[in-house]
């Protein structure tokens, strides 16, 4: 499948997550996947699906070539075996556990579920120092709860025969002004004097860590999983349900 680059998502990650062939049929679930959608270029079929019209509009704005569909993940209006891949970004933990069976039902034989999460990498020294400054104000700051633990549901469901995992680096430049703004938005109710001291400490941290004129870069890791549907556990096809969207490519 052809892939175009996207500044907020590594090209290599999309290449690994997507089917390695043209004319692939791709279902993208959930508005959280919108930032990645522009990197998916399919010569086959690309469907952007969310439970709300607003979510579908957010997806479609990133990929006007996609077919927009309003539907809940637990009630996908597609015949069995429609797609070569179903993709979710940053949202598996929000998915109703019952929806996994629905997802496997729309996967074609040999198709897979693609999952990705972008998580901050706190191992870089300047990020550890920033974390210490913020946690001096709020011990829960930069706790890093992203939802990746929900990937365990894939194994627990018994619906998948094989699960593969891969990680990609992502570096996002951040200016001094943007870092200070991020800190200020994190503590909107902090006493003015304490906020002023914190902003000064963060500003000093930036200046001592950045290599002028280059900005600091926030390190992230894009964690990716491919889960291959177990053909022995995929639900049998329904008797052409009412309201199903029949798609031919």
Using DSSP bridges, classify how beta strands 107-120 and 216-229 pair: parallel, antiparallel or unpaired: antiparallel
- 161-209 pLDDT, tens digit per residue, is 999 999 998 888 999 999 999 999 999 999 999 999 999 999 999 999 9
Could you tell me if 90 and 147 are in contact, meaning their C-beta atoms sit under 8 angstroms apart?
A: yes
In the chain, domain spans: 11-120+144-171+219-229
Strands (E), the chain: 25-29, 45-50, 67-70, 83-89, 107-120, 160-174, 216-229
Sequence-ordered alpha helix ranges (H) in 48-191:
53-62, 99-106, 125-135, 152-157, 176-186
pTM (2 d.p.):
0.81
Q: Tell me: the pLDDT tens digits for 213-242?
A: 899 998 888 999 999 988 776 555 443 445
Q: How far apart are CA 160 and CA 169, in angstroms?
A: 27
Superfamily of segment(s) 11-120+144-171+219-229: Vaccinia Virus protein VP39 (3.40.50.150)
């Amino acid at each position: 499948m052809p892939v175009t680059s996207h500044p907020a998502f590594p090209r290599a990650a999309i290449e690994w997550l997507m089917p390695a062939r043209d004319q692939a049929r791709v279902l993208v679930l959930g508005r959280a996947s919108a930032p990645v959608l522009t990197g998916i270029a399919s010569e086959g079929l690309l469907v952007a699906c969310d439970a709300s019209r607003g979510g579908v509009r957010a997806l479609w704005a990133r990929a006007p070539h996609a077919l927009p569909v309003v539907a809940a993940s637990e009630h996908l209006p597609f015949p069995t075996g429609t797609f070569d891949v179903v993709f979710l970004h940053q949202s598996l933990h929000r998915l109703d556990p019952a929806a996994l069976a629905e997802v496997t039902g729309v996967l074609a034989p040999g198709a897979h579920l693609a999952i990705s999460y972008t998580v901050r990498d706190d191992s870089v020294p300047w990020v550890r120092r920033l974390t210490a400054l913020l946690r001096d104000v709020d011990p829960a700051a930069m706790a890093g709860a992203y939802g990746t633990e929900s990937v365990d549901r894939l194994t627990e469901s018994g619906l998948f025969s094989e699960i593969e995992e891969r990680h990609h680096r992502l570096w996002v430049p951040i200016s001094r002004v943007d870092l200070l703004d991020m800190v200020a938005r994190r503590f909107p109710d902090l006493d003015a004097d304490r906020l002023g001291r914190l902003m000064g400490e963060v500003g000093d941290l930036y200046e001592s860590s950045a290599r002028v004129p280059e900005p600091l870069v926030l390190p992230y890791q894009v964690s990716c999983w491919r889960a291959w549907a177990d053909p022995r556990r995929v639900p049998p096809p329904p008797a052409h349900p009412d309201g199903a969207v029949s798609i031919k490519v």
